[in-house]
Amino acid sequence: MTDILNAFVALSNFVLIPAIAYGSQLALGALGVTLIYGILRFSNFAHGDTMAFGTMVTILVTWGLQAAGVSFGVLPTAVLALPIGIAVTAGMLLGTDRVVYRFYRAQRAKPVILVIVSMGVMFIMNGLVRFVIGPNDQRFADGERFIISARDFRAWSGLNEGLAFRTSQGITIVTAIVVVALLFWFLNKTRTGKSMRAFSDNEDLALLSGINPERVVMYTWVIVAALATVAGVLYGLDKSFKPFTYFQLLLPIFASAVVGGLGNPLGAIGGGFVIAFSEVAVTYAFKKVLGYLMPEGFEPNTLVQLLSTDYKLAVSFALLVIVLLFKPTGLFKGKAI
Amino acid sequence: MKNALLFVAVFALFVGTGFVQSWNTALAIFNMGLISAILALGVNLQWGYAGLFNIGIMGFVALGGLASVIVTMPPTTEAWEAGGGRMIAALAVGAATVLGAILSRQRLPRGWARTLAMLGIIVAGFLIYRSLFDPARDAIEAVNPAGTGYLGGLGLPALVAWPVGAALAAGAAWIVGKTALGLRSDYLAIATLGIAEIIVAVLKNEDWLSRGVKNVVGLPRPVPYEIELQNTPAFVAQAQSWGADPVALSAIAVKLAYMGIFAGILITLIGLAQMALNSPWGRMMRAIRDNEVAAGAMGKNVKGRHLQIFILGSAICGLAGAMMTTLDSQFTPASYQPLRFTFLVWVMVIVGGSGNNLGSVLGGFLIWWLWVQVEPLGAGLMQVLTFPLPDGSALKDHLLGSVQHMRLLTMGLVLLLVLRFSPRGLIPEK
């Protein structure tokens, strides 16, 4: 019995909790990608760098608050700075739309042109972030580090295995639930949200019904800014902030959105968790867990690790290709062919 | 006429660099510009002729680099004895597993039996593969890890490596194309982006193959070393008769030799690409690009042609990658960054003019020159801008220290401006 409990705790500690936190971050990122795809109809390659930009603003404000002696008790100060980060990012995205994207929308340019345009925006945002905050790692988490620390858990339960639950993971999960609930309430209950869904379903019909497309697009960018900044800050709190890492997040985020079904918000969430759980499970060494579960003398003598952790990206990519080949609309029926 | 002027203007940039900075620098930038132009030609083949949105160029370039290593480096005999045979066996088992899984899916009737058979083949194959692969890898990497620790190469001349690089990239492109072509353009983009990341991840981590992040240095080259020239009495006498420093002249002579080889390859490729573009095959490609449905209805094999041109374009990228690694004399997997090796090439093609071979070549030279020179130019600009700020102020130091990141900003700006005001590029398609 203790062995089973030990195995379960080890599994939770190294697989379940990290994967749930990472999955929430991916889901928030994928929601942004999927909203842009649904409303503006292109894959936004600048999304990773939008996340980096929002996080950078939040970090700068956090440093300002810390310097002024403001803190948020046990919670990280970055949570206080988050609204300002969102506001600045929203301004940035609206400005980008006004200067860059609107011209091509008016021309009704092909989606692939918009994708190339978003590559240009990606370059600029990437350069901007590196210019302001530099290309190095930045840590900005403060406050209490653990909700449950491994030592306390061992003392409390008397088990061999410790269970650590970090504050950043707790905040990630709670924030993700709140943000997703708000988003779905907005999309399903409010007038603006309904007009956004109508616009995504059938643009011409929505225009005929008198929906103002520019307004819909504006709301989309503001929501995307909020989602991207929240996802970026949560990822940064959980791991650390580095512009290049955020650029690389593009692949798992796209994989989440596509696996779930591009254009479908529910799919983005499901896809995020599918990708996160596969990445963590495939690259985790199950030796310890199996050691508890197997009978005496049958413990594995290898690591029981399917792939080394360096191949995380390969996991999201493999899932992406498998889904595209066998179920091109994604697991949750997206709108793309 | 206008096109000739554009080429003269870009050439003048390089000559200007020669006068202002040094001829050595100008030649170094020009050589890399030649390689960039070849890369841009390859991408133009895919995007300009066929409208395929490939953003996995970095992966094909890296495979070309790998070819340089495994063709030109001397073999590590002890490593081959320690685990070479087992490694080949392991790779054969891996390939057989994938092939078996695909065959079982194609040949067996639909249903549970097929799924089970496929899963069985994959799981059993994976277990056998790992049981062969792990000890072989450990044995190879244990041989003199500080010096070699990998299988080494074949010890052949560098010029052989370049076509091999093209072939390796073409093989990879065949696998990618078979799975990913036929997807919508956005999906193809995401799939190629992913495959490039994976290729680079493999090169970084499989030490037995390419030494991973320990890098391979001192790759053989097709031209003499500077030091050999400096030790040749005839060369030194010639340099002194011109009144030049033999050391400086030897560096320039080596670069000129490279330039001759690269320019020959580039001109051949331009000729071939132009012939292809103006042939019935080229017209068919453009017809497919402009309207796939109509071309299909005319009996053209859209998917087959797409696969063909995807492989051709990727092979050119592999060729350029192999040439680049030979030029650098070193293979450093960690230096493969998507912004530099994928997206920058896209900027070259778009700015130069997609669909026009000469345009892409022009874009390759221009954008590469800009990429290198933005840093010194930006530093100068920043000096002027921050002049009013007091010396030692934190803001001034930060601005001056961040100048190197200006090049990303500049590239984005150039791309957006061209897309907005001259969407067909400097030399548009006819």
Q: Is the Cα dihedral B141, B142, B147, B153 positive or negative? A: negative
Element (H, E) at A150: helix A150-157
Amino acid B150 reads Y
List the domain boundaries for chain B. Answer: 2-75+152-421, 76-151
Reported confidence tier of residue B235, pLDDT bands at 50, 70, 90: confident
- Closest residue of chain A to B350, computed from CA coordinates: A116
Range with the lowest mean pLDDT among A109-118, A246-255, A306-315, B166-175? A306-315
d(CA B89, CA B129) in angstroms, rounded, equals 9
Residue A191 CB neighbours (<10 A): 7
Task: Output the pLDDT for position A335.
Answer: 59
Reported confidence tier of residue A337, pLDDT bands at 50, 70, 90: very low
Q: Is the Cα dihedral B291, B297, B303, B309 positive or negative? A: negative
Residue A334 has pLDDT above 80, yes or no: no
* Residue B88 touches chain A, beta carbons under 8 Å: no
Higher pLDDT, A296 or A191: A191
- Complex ipTM, two decimals? 0.89
Name the residue among B197, B412, B416 with its Cβ closest to that of A251: B197
A314: chain B residues, CB-CB within 8 Å: 198, 201
CB A149 within 8 A of CB A1: no
B184: chain A residues, CB-CB within 8 Å: 336-337
* Residue B350 touches chain A, beta carbons under 8 Å: yes
- Whether residues A115 and B185 touch (CB distance < 8 A) is answered with yes
Phi/psi for A165 (5° steps) reads -125, 105
CB A242 within 8 A of CB A138: yes
Residue B163 CB neighbours (<10 A): 15
B410: chain A residues, CB-CB within 8 Å: 127
Average confidence (pLDDT) over B200-204? 90
Name the residue among A127, A248, A321 with its Cβ closest to that of B409: A127
* Residue B293 touches chain A, beta carbons under 8 Å: no
* Residue A324 touches chain B, beta carbons under 8 Å: yes
Q: Helix H segments across B21-145?
A: 23-44, 57-72, 77-79, 85-107, 112-142
Three-state DSSP class for residue B183: strand
A274-283 pLDDT, tens digit per residue, is 999 999 988 8
Strand partners, A166: A146
- Whether residues B402 and A311 touch (CB distance < 8 A) is answered with no
Task: Output the pLDDT for position A336.
Answer: 42
- Closest residue of chain A to B184, computed from CA coordinates: A337
Higher pLDDT, A333 or B386: B386
d(CA B29, CA A12) in angstroms, rounded, equals 54
d(CA A141, CA B152) in angstroms, rounded, equals 45
User: Measured between CA atoms, how close is A51 to chain B, in angstroms?
Assistant: 17
Residue A73 has pLDDT above 70, yes or no: yes
* Residue A83 touches chain B, beta carbons under 8 Å: no
- Whether residues A120 and B419 touch (CB distance < 8 A) is answered with yes
Domain range A2-326, its CATH number among 1.10.3470, 1.10.357, 1.10.3720, 3.40.50 = 1.10.3470
Phi/psi for A64 (5° steps) reads -60, -45
Residue to mutate among A49, A108, A131, with most B CBs inside 10 A, is A131
Task: Output the pLDDT for position A152.
Answer: 85
Range with the lowest mean pLDDT among B154-168, B185-199, B289-303, B312-326? B185-199
Phi/psi for A304 (5° steps) reads 55, 50
List the domain boundaries for chain A. Answer: 2-326
d(CA B276, CA B49) in angstroms, rounded, equals 10
Task: Output the pLDDT for position B266.
Answer: 97
Please give the full DSSP string across B16-56, using - where no structure is assigned: HHHHHT-HHHHHHHHHHHHHHHHHHHHHHIIIIIT------
Average confidence (pLDDT) over B280-298? 91
* Residue A325 touches chain B, beta carbons under 8 Å: yes
Average confidence (pLDDT) over B299-312? 92
- Whether residues A316 and B194 touch (CB distance < 8 A) is answered with yes
Residue A100 has pLDDT above 80, yes or no: yes
Mean per-residue pLDDT over chain B, rounded = 90
Q: How far is CA B68 from the centre of its chain?
A: 12
- Whether residues B195 and A317 touch (CB distance < 8 A) is answered with yes
Domain spanning B2-75+152-421 has what CATH number? 1.10.3470
CB B6 within 8 A of CB B361: no
User: Measured between CA atoms, how close is A317 to chain B, in angstroms?
Assistant: 6
- Whether residues A258 and B187 touch (CB distance < 8 A) is answered with yes
| Helices B280-290 + B246-278 axis angle, to 10 | 80
Residue A333 CB neighbours (<10 A): 13
Angle at A148 between CA A146 and CA A149, to 5 degrees: 75
Task: Output the pLDDT for position A21.
Answer: 95
Strand partners, A75: A72
User: Measured between CA atoms, how close is B166 to chain A, in angstroms?
Assistant: 24
Q: HSE (CB half, 13 Å, CA atoms) of B78?
A: 9
- Residue A267: name the closest of A318, A223, A333 by CA: A333
- Residue A57: name the closest of A232, A184, A178, A257 by CA: A232
Q: Which two tokens stand for residue B413?
A: 């700006």
Listed in sequence order, the residues at least 6 apart from A35 whose beta carbon sits closer than 8 Å to its beta carbon are A220, A223, A224, A227, A265
Q: How far is CA A301 from the centre of its chain?
A: 36
d(CA A26, CA A134) in angstroms, rounded, equals 24
B26-82 pLDDT, tens digit per residue, is 999 999 999 999 999 999 999 998 889 999 999 999 999 999 999 999 888 888 888
Residue A317 has pLDDT above 90, yes or no: no
- Residue A185: name the closest of A194, A172, A175 by CA: A194
Q: What is the dihedral of CA B309, B312, B318, B322, to 10 degrees?
A: -160
Distances (CA, A) of A111 to A37, B185, B186, B349, B352: 10, 9, 8, 18, 21
Residue ranges of A 85-104 with Cβ closer than 8 A to chain B: 100, 103
Average confidence (pLDDT) over A291-318? 78
Task: Output the pLDDT for position B42.
Answer: 95
A153-184 pLDDT, tens digit per residue, is 888 888 888 888 888 999 999 999 999 999 99
Listed in sequence order, the residues at least 6 apart from B354 whose beta carbon sits closer than 8 Å to its beta carbon are B44, B47, B48, B360, B424, B425, B429
d(CA A181, CA A76) in angstroms, rounded, equals 23
d(CA A135, CA A63) in angstroms, rounded, equals 17
- Residue A268: name the closest of A258, A278, A282, A281 by CA: A258
CB A238 within 8 A of CB A169: yes
* Residue A131 touches chain B, beta carbons under 8 Å: yes
B122-181 pLDDT, tens digit per residue, is 999 998 998 888 888 888 888 888 878 888 888 899 899 999 999 999 999 998 888 888
Reported confidence tier of residue B401, pLDDT bands at 50, 70, 90: confident
